[in-house]
Amino acid sequence: MTGARRSPDIAVCIPTYNQAAFVARAVESALRQTDFPQVQVWVSDDASTDDTAAVMTALCARDPRVHYHRHDKNLGIAENASWVLEQPLADIVVRLDSDDLLLPDYLRVLHDRLMRYPDAGYAHSAVAVIDQHDVIQSESHMFRPREYVDADTALRESLKGYKTVANILMFRAEALRRANFYHGRPNFAEDYDLSVRLADLGYGNVFVNEVLAQYRVWGDAQGTRHHRKAEHLRGLTQLFHRSFVAAYERRGWDVAEVRRARTRVAVNFATAIFMPWITDEERTELVPLLLGLDHGARVRWRVFLLRLGFAPMFAALGRLDTLVRRTVKNALAAVGRS
C-alpha cells in the first residue's frame, strides 16, 4: 500500500485493470475538484500486466492525497470495486472507473444534493459520452420530474432497468456497508444489483440533470464483448431471482411483476447471443444461461426464431427502439432543464 490512511469527508475510489493510458487522467480529474482540496483518491489495481504500477507510483510521489494498492492476483470487477470502496475512512465515497473523468464541480454539486436528502443512499448526474480519444460524442441525460426518488419508487422503477446514465456514483459509505458492497455478486451486473439492494434497505437516490462527468464508451466492431455475456447473464439471474424477489416479498408486493420484467430482459438479451460473431461453442454455453434467467414460452419462442436466422432483423428493431427511446428521453430531459 502506497500512502497512509486518513479520514477525509470524501474519497474517490478508482478500481482499475490494464488502463495505464487512462488512469492518471481519472486520478487528476478527482484531484481538481472545486471546494474539496483535501479529497483523497484511492486506486485499486486488479493485478494489471501493463504499466499501471509505474504510472501510479509516480502519481503517489507527486501528491500525498493519492493512495495506490496492487493486488497479487485478479479479483474481478465486483470484488476489486468492493475492496477499494472499503478502504477510506470517509462518510462519502465516489466510485469512478479508471477510464472515466469527473468534471470540476462533480463533488461540490452532488455532495450538496446528498446532504439535502438524508434518505438518499447515492447521487448521480448526467454525463458527456466520450470515445477512446476523449472526443465528446453526445450527452446522456435522464428524464426525471424530481431530483429525489424514495426507496419504494426506486425499487419499482428498477424493474425497467438500471436507472442511471453511467456508473459514476457518489455513495453514503454507511449505505454501502449495510449492503455489503458488491461482495458475492457476479461481474457486469453488480452495479444494477447494488442499486436494487440499496432500495430494498430503504435508501432513495438523487439525480442531478447536469453534466458533471465524462463516461467513456469504447468502440467495438462487433458491437459486443461476447466474453462478458456469460457473467452478465449469471448476474441478471441472481438479480431477478434473488434480489428483486426478496425485496418484493418483504413488502408483500406482487412477484409476478418481477417475472414479467425478467421475461422482457431475457427476450431482449437473446438477440445478442445469436449475432454472427458469437460462435456455436459460445452459444452452447450462453443459451442455457439465458434459459436459467427465464425459460418461459416467450423466451423459448424467441430462441427458436433466432435459430432460424432472424437475429439481424431483431437487432435492427432493437436499435430503432433504443434510438426512439433515447430521443424521447433526451427531449423530455431538455424540457425539464429549461
* Cα of 269 vs its chain's centroid, Å: 18
Strands 120-130 and 136-140: antiparallel
Supply the pTM of this predicted model: 0.89
Residue 66: count of CB within 10 angstroms of its CB: 25
**What pLDDT, on a 0 to 100 scale, did the predictor assign at position 113?**
97
Burial 242-273 (b: 16+ CB within 10 A, else e): ebbeebbeeeeeeeeebeebbbebbbebbbbb
Mean pLDDT of 33-39: 91
d(CA 243, CA 246): 5
- Terminal CA-CA length for the chain: 47
What pLDDT score does 323 carry? 65
Q: Is the pLDDT of residue 171 over 50?
A: yes
Checking phi first, is residue 180 left (phi over 0); if not, alpha (psi -120 to 50) or beta? left
Q: What CA–CA distances, in Å, run from 290 to 78, 228, 300?
A: 21, 13, 10
Burial of 37 (0-12, 13-18, 19+ CB in 10 A): exposed
| Per-residue pLDDT reduced to its tens digit, 297-317 | 999 999 999 999 988 888 787
Q: What is the DSSP letter of 89?
A: -
Taking the C-alpha atoms of residue 214 and residue 139, their distance in angstroms, rounded to an integer, is 9
Q: Which three cell numbers stand for residue 246?
A: 426478496
Amino acid residing at 312: P
> What distance in Å separates the CA atoms of residue 314 and residue 130, rounded to the nearest whole number?
28
Among 10, 199, 189, which residue's Cα sits nearest to residue 90?
10
Q: Dihedral of CA 159/164/165/168: which sign?
A: negative
Helix (H) or strand (E) holding 55: helix 52-62
* 146-157 pLDDT tens trace: 999 999 999 999
- For the segment 123-133, the average pLDDT, to the nearest whole number, is 96
The residue with cell 424514495 is: 150
E strands in the chain? 10-16, 40-45, 66-70, 92-95, 101-102, 120-130, 136-140, 148-149, 169-172, 204-216
| 18-27, 268-277, 307-316, 327-336: which is most confident | 18-27
Q: Cα separation of 151 and 163, whole Å?
A: 13
Give the count of beta carbons closer than 10 Å to the beta carbon of residue 138. Answer: 12
Q: Express each pLDDT in 210-236 by its tens digit.
A: 999 999 997 654 444 556 899 999 999
Quote the pLDDT of residue 337.
58
Domains and CATH numbers, the chain: 10-216 (3.90.550.10), 226-337 (no CATH)
More confident residue, 303 or 324: 303
Residue 189, burial from CB neighbour count under 10 angstroms (0-12, 13-18, 19+): buried
Residue 334, pLDDT above cutoff 70: no
